[in-house]
């Protein structure tokens, strides 16, 4: 019978001992390596031939047959090390048995290898008990000193201001401008700091003159008649952006409650042109418009008659020039001069010449060029300046921040920017009612969308959020989501829910308008993350804090940004983020815009802000470094959140790329502070929750949500160009917006740099970036 047993063949070595192999898994690689070496050392000690082999190695260590040194460990960004595997398991392989290349991720520490600040901390000066409080420089004058009645306004208009609009007294610039423009028909240049009431300074004289014309016409007709919407168009107000145009229109409609027979309207784009034409056909007395849209109607809308226009206002003149509206304004002035003629039946009280008013916060070369186009023998109107502002005026920059505005700057390394922003906002809203509204300015639209996603990412909804209207709750977030308002669980406290808004020029006009209205009317704590589209002219009430997360592209833009707070005599705070190194030199520029020569400029460090924002205030015993652990955990959690979703990862990469493109467009005079060659791109990537190497961060194509609109915009643009060629007119923007819209970000950045170099002033705007 055959032997069916199983034969086992064991191979036993010559040595009497057999090493025991153990596989170590889990934990840190350094701990696994230490355990492996300890086991190997124990096995070698039990080997009888160990001493003999060790002596032999020592004998030949200095010779040519010595063993090569082990490979160096690869150093990653942030000072940490990871092993370089040369033997053993090499990971997954492809079909050719070659090791598959995995994308390299760099997990760097937040608090290692950060550059040191070059400016020393400055101790805050304690205010003396008997020190006089800072007097607001843009507050209304007391009613005992001046009243609207003494400026030449009618009793009806003055009563409406006092009782319906709640304005008890005019500001300094309003007192001067109204008194001048009510009695005189000469051109005027109005210059005043932000928040001083320039809008009413030119609206009040126009309304008062129309009220006087109506009364004159009624007396001439035997007590009947007067101005109606059929009487014609008498005033045009040009503004650079749709948002500012909407705001001017809102103030004007409120003011016209004192003269309800005067009809006002807007043509600013963002809606069908047929609707605007119908509005013009019904008749308007005052028109608020953006330059590009007005040129379009002047050339293609026969019903728009400007022969009786006697008041032309150019608001935010510096911004009009920066956005490239010089040719449009020149064409508007030329067409109005050409069509201005004597009517066969003149309206009683209608001035013979047109009055043009130019409003600008700064006197620059491009503003002077605009004045040469539109103004003739203009009278300069400005508020009283303190003596220490004379030097600034001699340099062409008489515009300064309000006296009651408290300014500060924070020196924050690139890696700590994101977590420091979250800690700062958390600290600001820690106590309910201390801060109600905050604006955070960023350089580009992609960065706004990314940070909106970060600050509103939510897992579970609170009871307060469930009560909000549909479409205002953000769950997980998406780059295709059109939501512009959500609750921030990161910033909100137990008893203080904080809403986050986002706004930039790439959003549709109806969404931009509704977002501004929601932020303005919201009575709870709220934050608006935006680009420079909200930096000029907008009067957003009760803004307590302005944060410049990305520095402005020019000094003038910076002054306009911080001018969103401390308006009309109210207090306000402003803080700007600067990176250690060259950017700290920008502090000297910040001091130039202050009336106290920069003595009240406070300095903060990233560590200081993190401690205040992440350290428990009560109820727990802190270990002293708990804030550092919280900052690290929060940063890693954000990075994992970005990696888990391809959409969020793409959004982070787009924001990173757009931020770098925007950083390269600072004006030439300030490029020494913001030199793109000195940026640590690896550290900056961490501020966008990225673990990729900077060279591998590439996101081709258009911004999300732009693919479908590109075809329609291109088709409209071709139609405009075709129509312009047929009529000999200049082609307008594809969507009739208040500024040129560009789809290719790189081309847009190139055009903006060329324009900046040619104009020797101004800076990039979010209309052209990202």
Say how many residues make up the chain. 770
Task: Tell me, yes or no, whether 49 lies in a domain.
Answer: no
> pLDDT per residue over 648-681, tens digit each?
999 999 999 999 999 999 988 899 999 999 999 9
Residue 473 has pLDDT above 90, yes or no: no
Are 261 and 296 contained in the same domain? yes
Task: Tell me, yes or no, whether 41 lies in a domain.
Answer: no
Are 390 and 409 contained in the same domain? no
Residue 741: which of 507, 409, 498 has the closest Cα? 507
Task: Tell me, yes or no, whether 506 lies in a domain.
Answer: yes
Are 373 and 303 contained in the same domain? yes
Residue 403 has pLDDT above 50, yes or no: yes
400 vs 571, which has greater pLDDT?
Answer: 571
Residue 217 has pLDDT above 60, yes or no: yes
Are 339 and 467 contained in the same domain? no
The mean predicted confidence, pLDDT, of the chain is 76
Q: Give the distance from CA 629 to its chain's centroid.
A: 30
The per-residue pLDDT for 747 is 54
Residue 390 has pLDDT above 80, yes or no: no
The per-residue pLDDT for 169 is 84
Residue at a domain's end among 338, 361, 394:
394
**Percent residues over pLDDT 70 in the chain:** 67
> pLDDT per residue over 282-326, tens digit each?
999 999 999 999 999 999 998 899 999 999 999 988 888 888 899
How many CB atoms are located within 10 Å of the residue 611 CB?
19
Are 552 and 609 contained in the same domain? yes
Residue at a domain's end among 349, 371, 394:
394
Residue 457: which of 420, 424, 483 has the closest Cα? 483
Are 258 and 290 contained in the same domain? yes
Task: Tell me, yes or no, whether 53 lies in a domain.
Answer: no
Task: Tell me, yes or no, whether 576 lies in a domain.
Answer: yes
Are 341 and 452 contained in the same domain? no
| Look-up of token digits 């096995």 | 43
Residue at a domain's end among 349, 366, 394:
394
| Look-up of token digits 């109806």 | 510
The secondary element (H helix, E strand) that includes residue 288 is strand 286-289
Task: Tell me, yes or no, whether 585 lies in a domain.
Answer: yes
CA–CA separation, 103 and 691 (whole Å): 10
Are 362 and 446 contained in the same domain? no
CATH number, domain containing residue 655: 3.40.50.300
Are 421 and 344 contained in the same domain? no
Helix axes 626-644, 606-614, angle to 10 degrees: 90
Are 506 and 576 contained in the same domain? yes
What six digits make up the tokens of 532?
Answer: 């420079």
Check: CB of residue 448 under 8 Å from CB of residue 531. yes
What is the extent of the structural domain holding 738? Answer: 707-768
Task: Tell me, yes or no, whether 622 lies in a domain.
Answer: yes
How many domains does the chain fold into?
3
Are 388 and 423 contained in the same domain? no
């Amino acid at each position: 019978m055959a032997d069916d047993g199983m034969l086992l063949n064991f191979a036993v070595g010559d040595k009497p001992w057999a090493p025991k192999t153990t596989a170590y898994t889990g934990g840190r690689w350094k701990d696994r390596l230490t355990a492996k070496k300890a086991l190997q050392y124990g096995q070698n000690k039990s080997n009888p031939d160990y001493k003999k082999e060790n002596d032999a190695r020592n004998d030949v260590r200095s010779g040519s047959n010595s063993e090569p040194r082990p490979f160096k460990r690869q150093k990653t960004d942030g000072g940490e090390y990871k092993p370089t595997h040369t033997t053993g398991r090499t990971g997954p392989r492809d079909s050719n048995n070659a090791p598959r290349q995995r994308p390299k991720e760099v997990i760097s520490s937040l608090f290692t290898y950060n550059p040191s600040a070059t400016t020393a901390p400055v101790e805050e000066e304690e205010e003396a008990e008997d020190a006089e409080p800072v007097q607001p420089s843009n507050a209304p004058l007391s009613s005992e000193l001046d009243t609207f009645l003494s400026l030449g306004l009618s009793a009806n208009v003055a009563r409406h201001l006092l009782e319906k609009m709640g304005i008890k007294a005019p500001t300094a610039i309003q007192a001067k401008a109204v008194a001048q423009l009510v009695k005189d028909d000469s051109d005027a240049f109005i210059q005043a700091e932000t928040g001083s009431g320039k809008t009413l300074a030119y609206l009040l004289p126009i309304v008062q003159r129309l009220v006087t014309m109506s009364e004159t016409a009624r007396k001439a007709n035997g007590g009947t008649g007067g101005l109606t919407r059929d009487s014609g168009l008498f005033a045009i107000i040009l503004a650079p952006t749709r948002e500012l145009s909407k705001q001017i229109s809102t103030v004007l409609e409120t003011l016209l409650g004192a003269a309800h027979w005067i009809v006002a309207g807007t043509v600013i784009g963002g809606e069908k042109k047929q609707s605007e034409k119908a509005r013009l056909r019904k008749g308007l007395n005052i028109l608020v418009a953006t330059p590009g849209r007005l040129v379009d109607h002047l050339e293609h809308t026969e019903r728009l008659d400007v022969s009786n226009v006697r008041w032309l206002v150019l608001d935010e003149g510096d911004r009009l020039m920066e956005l490239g509206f010089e040719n449009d304004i020149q064409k508007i002035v030329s067409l109005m001069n050409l069509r201005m003629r004597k009517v066969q039946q003149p309206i009683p009280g209608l001035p013979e010449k047109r009055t043009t008013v130019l409003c600008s916060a700064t006197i620059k070369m491009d503003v002077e060029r605009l004045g040469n186009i539109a103004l003739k023998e203009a009278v300069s109107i400005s508020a009283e300046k303190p003596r220490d502002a004379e030097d600034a005026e001699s340099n062409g920059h008489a515009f300064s921040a309000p006296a009651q505005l408290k300014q500060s700057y924070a020196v924050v390394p690139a890696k700590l920017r994101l977590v420091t922003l979250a800690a700062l906002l958390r600290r600001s809203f820690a106590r309910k009612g201390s801060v109600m509204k905050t604006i955070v300015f960023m350089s580009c639209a992609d960065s706004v969308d990314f940070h909106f996603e970060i600050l509103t990412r939510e897992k579970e909804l609170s009871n307060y959020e469930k009560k909000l209207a549909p479409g205002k709750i953000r769950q997980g977030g998406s780059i295709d989501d059109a939501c512009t308002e959500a609750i921030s669980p990161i910033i909100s406290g137990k008893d203080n829910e904080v809403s986050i808004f986002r706004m930039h020029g790439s959003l549709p006009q109806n969404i931009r308008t509704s977002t501004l209205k929601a932020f303005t009317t919201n009575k709870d704590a709220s934050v608006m993350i935006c680009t420079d589209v909200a930096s000029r002219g907008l009067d957003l009430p009760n803004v307590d804090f302005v944060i410049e997360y990305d520095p402005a592209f020019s000094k003038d833009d910076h002054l306009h940004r911080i001018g969103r707070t401390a308006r009309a005599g109210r207090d306000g705070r402003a803080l700007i983020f600067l990176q250690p190194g060259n950017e700290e030199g920008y502090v000297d520029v910040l001091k130039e815009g202050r009336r106290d020569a920069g003595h009240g400029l406070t300095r903060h460090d990233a560590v200081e802000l993190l401690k205040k924002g992440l350290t428990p205030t009560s109820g727990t015993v802190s270990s002293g470094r708990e804030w550092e652990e919280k900052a690290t955990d929060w940063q890693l959690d954000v990075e994992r959140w970005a990696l888990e979703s391809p959409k969020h990862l793409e959004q982070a990469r787009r924001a990173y790329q757009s931020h770098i493109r925007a950083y390269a467009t600072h004006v030439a005079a300030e490029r020494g502070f913001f030199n793109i060659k000195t940026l640590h791109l690896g550290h900056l990537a961490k501020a966008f929750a990225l673990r990729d190497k900077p060279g591998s961060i590439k996101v081709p194509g258009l911004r999300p949500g732009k693919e479908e609109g590109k075809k329609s915009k291109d088709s409209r643009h071709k139609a405009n160009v075709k129509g312009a060629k047929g009529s000999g007119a200049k082609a307008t923007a594809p969507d009739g917006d208040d500024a040129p819209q560009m789809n290719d970000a790189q081309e847009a950045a190139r055009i903006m740099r060329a324009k900046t170099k040619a104009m020797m002033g101004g800076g990039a705007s979010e209309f052209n970036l990202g």
